[in-house]
Amino acid sequence: MPTKTRNTERREDALSRERIVDAAVEMLDATGESGLTFRALSARLRTGPGAIYWHVANKDELLIAAADAVLTPALAADAADDTPEDTIRALALGVFDAIDAHPWIGSELSRAPSPPAILRIFERIGRQVRALGVPFAAQFTAASAVLNYILGVGGQNAAQARAVDPGTDRDEFLGNVAAAWAGLDPDDFPFTRTVAGQLREHDDRVEFLNGVDLILAGISRLRPDA
């Protein structure tokens, strides 16, 4: 009898919602959304689909839970002595890094209606925008601009990463693209040609944060005392 109880406990632990979501994240990282099926997940967890359905109603719910799981660290970071600008930067970089590590999140966060993770990110940004003293009439626009920038750049970065063959040397790849830019027609692409060298040397995270700072600089001008 005691042995049977211990076996039941192990089965319940193996089929906990947390373990199911962790396995789903691993599968999404490896094969993307198309590779995540309840049959494949069942095989990975060595159980039947019915046992998974006990914890997760459907694939949409599982995808939402998986996105929440990988974005939780970015949303949890909160230092009491940080300025609103610092908090937005930390949140933005956390989400950017999460999308970079888990490219499938980019498309998942663009679902309609907005998934819970998006609402929590938007709420966090909005509170900081309010703390910056932005007038109420401009708060929605300001918070939306920050959110759309984070998701847009993060999603584009992830899409580009998926388009490149695994194992591709980043410096070599950027060098080839920069050379192509430098060889463009000078009449049609005068600006693009001149920044080709910056493309070759740029750091994605640094450029991303520079963009956040540009938006924050614009938001600061919305304050009545600016």
Of 18, 17, 38, give the one whose Cα is nearest residue 27: 38
The pLDDT, as a whole number, for residue 70 is 92
Peptide bond into 103 cis (omega under 30): no
The pLDDT, as a whole number, for residue 1 is 44
Contact 178, 199 (CB under 8 A): yes
Q: For residues 89 and 53, what is the distance between their CA atoms, to the nearest angstrom?
A: 38
The pLDDT, as a whole number, for residue 12 is 45
Contact 67, 112 (CB under 8 A): no
Q: For residues 63 and 48, what is the distance between their CA atoms, to the nearest angstrom?
A: 19
The pLDDT, as a whole number, for residue 226 is 67
Chunked mean pLDDT (size 10), the chain, 226 residues: 43 74 94 90 91 91 92 77 91 93 85 82 95 96 96 84 71 88 95 93 91 96 84
SS3 label, residue 55: coil
Q: For residues 113 and 81, what is the distance between their CA atoms, to the nearest angstrom?
A: 34
Contact 190, 70 (CB under 8 A): no
Q: Which domains does the chain have, with CATH numbers?
A: 1-56 (1.10.10.60), 72-220 (1.10.357.10)
The pLDDT, as a whole number, for residue 108 is 82
